[in-house]
């Protein structure tokens, strides 16, 4: 009714990229911004889906070794994946798709693949075999890509840029475990987001993070898994073995200004484990991390000292 100090708020949930997404924005352009962001997410889903026969990724994966001219989005993702692939010693590898498919993580028909089958599939896994020439990409026969480890972070980053271009200064996008913020809260204070408890149910949390104009992306074995003969198998795979990465970590949360990098690194550093993650951070930097290890110890990088607050009731110890 006119005379209020509350800024306009507009929120909408949507299902895309195999997950629930919640988008909220503030200010006079809030509704336009959220709707434009959902449009962008749907565009990227159509482009990057591994199962949609009209997607660009499908065309690449079914190109039988022929060169294909690809979009700027795909080139950006391939560049980011190549850099993180190289820096992580192959812990992030976007050509892992034949392997994740064999485990059933793309379809939900889970199974432990035969070791001989896995070994054969692994011969097709190597991101360095992706040939690039200008706008053109060529995949060797048998090589298939999947941007599942990067796509939601990329979508969040793109949405934030789009909203800022529209004049939005305050928004919170939650793309299924991938948080992307625009600016600060409408009152100027930082966004406070939860780092989920890997052993709890959805509402339980390890701690909170303060974010301004940043992404926070979590990868964890608890997010998608199945159990067989008492063993838990999750969807983050170590390209060195073709099996779920067991590096001593329950979850990795990456905080940074690029959602794409945060998403890729959450996956890569989960595979690398604590020491590998800390080494990566020391060597390349540009991000901060919250690591939750198998003995319920929480490790944070120096830049989060006054941005992360442990939840003292969750049973975790901060180091």
Q: Which residues bind Mg ion (CB under 5 A)?
A: 149, 152, 219, 263, 266-267
Phi, psi (deg, nearest 5) at residue 21? -120, 140
Contact between 265 and ligand ADP by CB under 6 A: the answer reads no
Q: Is the sign of the CA dihedral 242, 244, 248, 254 positive or negative? A: positive
Token code pair at residue 129: 């075999």
Rounded Cα–Cα distance for residues 30 and 109 (Å): 40
Strand extents, DSSP E, 27-169: 68-69, 131-133, 136-138
Task: Report the partner that residue 160 touches, choosing among ligand ADP, Mg ion, none (CB closer than 5 to 8 A by kind).
Answer: none
Least separation, in Å, of the C-beta of 33 and Mg ion?
A: 23
Q: Nearer Cβ to ligand ADP, position 105 or 191?
A: 105
Contact between 263 and ligand ADP by CB under 6 A: the answer reads yes
Residue with tokens 């149910």: 201
Binding mask 200-219 for ligand ADP (x = CB under 6 A): -------------------x
Contact between 237 and ligand ADP by CB under 6 A: the answer reads yes
Contact between 171 and ligand ADP by CB under 6 A: the answer reads no
Strand extents, DSSP E, the chain: 9-16, 19-26, 68-69, 131-133, 136-138, 170-175, 178-183, 191-196, 205-211, 215-220, 225-228, 231-234, 237-238, 243-244, 249-256, 288-293, 297-300, 308-310, 317-318
Contact between 144 and ligand ADP by CB under 6 A: the answer reads no
Task: Report the partner that residue 223 touches, choosing among ligand ADP, Mg ion, none (CB closer than 5 to 8 A by kind).
Answer: ligand ADP
Q: Nearer Cβ to ligand ADP, position 170 or 247?
A: 247
Could you list the residues that contact ligand ADP (CB under 6 A)?
91-94, 96, 100, 105, 146, 148-149, 152, 177, 219, 223, 235-237, 239, 263, 266-267, 271
């Amino acid at each position: 009714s006119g005379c209020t100090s509350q800024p306009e708020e507009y929120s909408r949930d949507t299902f895309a990229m195999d997950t629930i997404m919640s988008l909220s924005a503030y200010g006079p352009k809030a509704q336009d911004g959220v709707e434009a962001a959902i449009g962008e997410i749907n565009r990227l889903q159509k482009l990057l889906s591994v199962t949609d026969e009209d997607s660009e990724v499908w065309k690449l994966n079914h190109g039988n070794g022929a060169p294909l001219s690809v979009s700027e989005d795909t080139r950006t993702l391939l560049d980011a994946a190549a850099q993180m692939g190289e820096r992580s010693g192959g812990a992030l590898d976007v050509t892992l798709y034949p392997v994740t498919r064999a485990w059933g993580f793309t379809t939900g028909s889970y199974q432990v693949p035969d070791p001989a089958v896995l070994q054969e599939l692994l011969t097709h896994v190597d991101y360095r075999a992706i040939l690039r020439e200008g706008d053109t990409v060529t995949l060797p026969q048998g090589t298939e890509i999947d941007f599942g480890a990067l796509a939601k972070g990329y979508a969040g980053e793109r949405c934030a840029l789009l909203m800022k271009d529209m004049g939005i200064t305050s928004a919170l996008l939650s793309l299924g475990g991938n948080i992307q913020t625009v600016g600060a809260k409408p009152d100027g204070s930082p966004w406070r987001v939860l780092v989920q408890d890997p052993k709890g149910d959805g509402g339980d949390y390890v701690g909170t993070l303060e974010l301004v104009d940043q992404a926070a992306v979590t990868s964890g074995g608890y997010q998608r898994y199945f159990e067989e003969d008492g063993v838990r198998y999750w969807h983050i795979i170590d390209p060195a073995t073709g099996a779920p990465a067991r590096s001593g970590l329950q979850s990795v949360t990456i905080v940074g200004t690029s959602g794409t990098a945060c998403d890729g690194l959450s996956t890569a550093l989960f595979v690398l484990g604590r020491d590998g993650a800390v080494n990566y951070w020391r060597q390349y930097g540009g991000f901060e991390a919250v690591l939750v290890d198998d003995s319920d110890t929480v490790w944070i990088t120096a830049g989060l000292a006054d941005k992360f607050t442990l939840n003292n009731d969750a049973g975790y110890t901060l180091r």
